[in-house]
Amino acid sequence: MKDYYQITEVAKLYGLCTDTLRYYEEQGLLHPHRSESGYRLYSIDDICSLNVIRALRALDMPVEHMRHYFESQTVETTLHMLDEQDEIIQKRIAELRSAHRSVEARRQRLSRYAAQKAGELQILQLPERPCLLLQENLILDQQIDFALKKLAHRHEDLLRSLGTHCMGAVLDESERLRGEYTHFRSVFYLGCHKRNADDRISAGMYASTFYKGEYHQLKDVCTALFAQLEARGFSQAGPVMELYHIDAHDTADPSEYLTEVQVRIQRETECENV
């Protein structure tokens, strides 16, 4: 066995560039010898240290922390370092499990809605739905994604990934009544716990219909929806909401978009009794 190894040999062995080894030396993590001609020579001790450095760097351990460890390396400090490594690993395992749940939730959502038929009217009795809400004076249809991003940034810890929360927007009712279907008053995320919510969507009876494709269809969809509701003896009791089940986060093909239109309703007889 050789006593010393040149920098190119060590770099090749670990798949590193020589600048990385020089950086570790500058940071006091490695202490290579020098040959008579000035070349760096790495001992077995350096190789052992490099094994530890690589393991700790894989866990994003700060260089300063590693330097302190090497300066006082004993069995006791190694055991303490292993405890710290295990804590980091357990945290990553929890994060990966959370990420896996998000992936599975997104997979289930896409599988559920990919076969959803468009144009069918459903009457649903829905419970109160806690939500995260961003309300502004005016949100144009092309600004909805940006508004949702602002809302997600406000609740970053709760909304770390797409797929687990349903996104939506509420039409400005006064503009809708004037025939304008591109003005929205708020955006929201459903699926949060009640204790984390900053608003809610009221419980009640809702009309629901789906449409596929780009969003400019909303006016025609609503016109058809309200005609069906009138024919069945229902009247509007709340603003029109869009829920985005499949959108640009899921596909680059707008024809695959799937949007649900929901509006709270009541029977005409109930309206007459008020």
How large is the average pLDDT for residues 30-44? 90
pLDDT digits (tens, 9 = 90+) for 132-169: 999 988 899 889 999 988 988 888 776 665 456 789 99
Distance between the two ends of the chain, CA-based, in angstroms? 94
Residue 225 identity: L
Q: Which long-range contacts (CB under 8 A, 24 or more apart) does 62-71 make?
A: 63/27, 63/29, 66/29, 67/27, 67/28, 67/29, 70/28, 70/29, 71/28
The percent of residues above 70 in pLDDT, for the chain, comes to 95
Tell me the residue type at 247. Answer: D
Listed ranges 21-35, 159-173, 229-243; the one with the highest mean pLDDT = 229-243
Q: Do residues 196 and 221 touch, judged by C-beta distance below 8 A?
A: no
What would the pLDDT profile of 91-113 be if each residue is shown by its tens digit?
999 989 988 988 888 898 899 89
Residue 264 has what pLDDT? 97
Average pLDDT over residues 186-191: 92
Q: Give the whole-angstrom CA distance, residue 174 versus residue 163.
A: 32
Specify burial of residue 70 (Cβ count, 10 A radius: 0-12, 13-18, 19+): middle
Cα distances (Å, whole numbers) of residue 139 to 14, 145, 229? 54, 10, 27
Report the pLDDT averaged over residues 116-130.
95
Overall average pLDDT of the 248-273 stretch: 87
* pLDDT tens-place string over residues 5-14: 899 999 998 8
* Poorest-pLDDT segment among 127-141, 211-225, 260-274: 260-274
pLDDT greater than 70 at residue 22: yes
pLDDT of 125 > 50? The answer is yes
Give the C-alpha separation, 183 to 206, whole Å. Answer: 21
Q: What is the pLDDT of residues 62-92, one digit of tens each?
A: 899 899 888 888 999 999 989 989 999 999 9
Is the pLDDT confidence value at 4 over 90? no
Q: Which residues pair with 200 in a beta bridge?
A: 130
Give pLDDT tens digits for 84-94. 899 999 999 99
167 near 259, Cβ under 8 Å?
A: no
Q: Which of 40-54, 114-128, 149-163, 166-180 has the lowest mean pLDDT?
A: 149-163
Residue 171 CB coordination number (10 Å): 24
Return the structure tokens found at 26: 């500058």
CB 140, CB 216: distance < 8 Å: no
What pLDDT is attached to residue 60? 87
Distance between CA 156 and CA 190 in Å, rounded?
Answer: 15
Pick the closest to residue 163 from 68, 99, 233, 70 (CA basis).
99
- Angstrom CA distances, 182 to 40, 100, 237, stand at 68, 36, 20
Residue 1: predicted pLDDT: 58
Label residue 271 by pLDDT band (50, 70, 90): low
Helix (H) / strand (E) element for 213: namely: none
Per-residue confidence (pLDDT) for residue 164, from 0 to 100 = 62
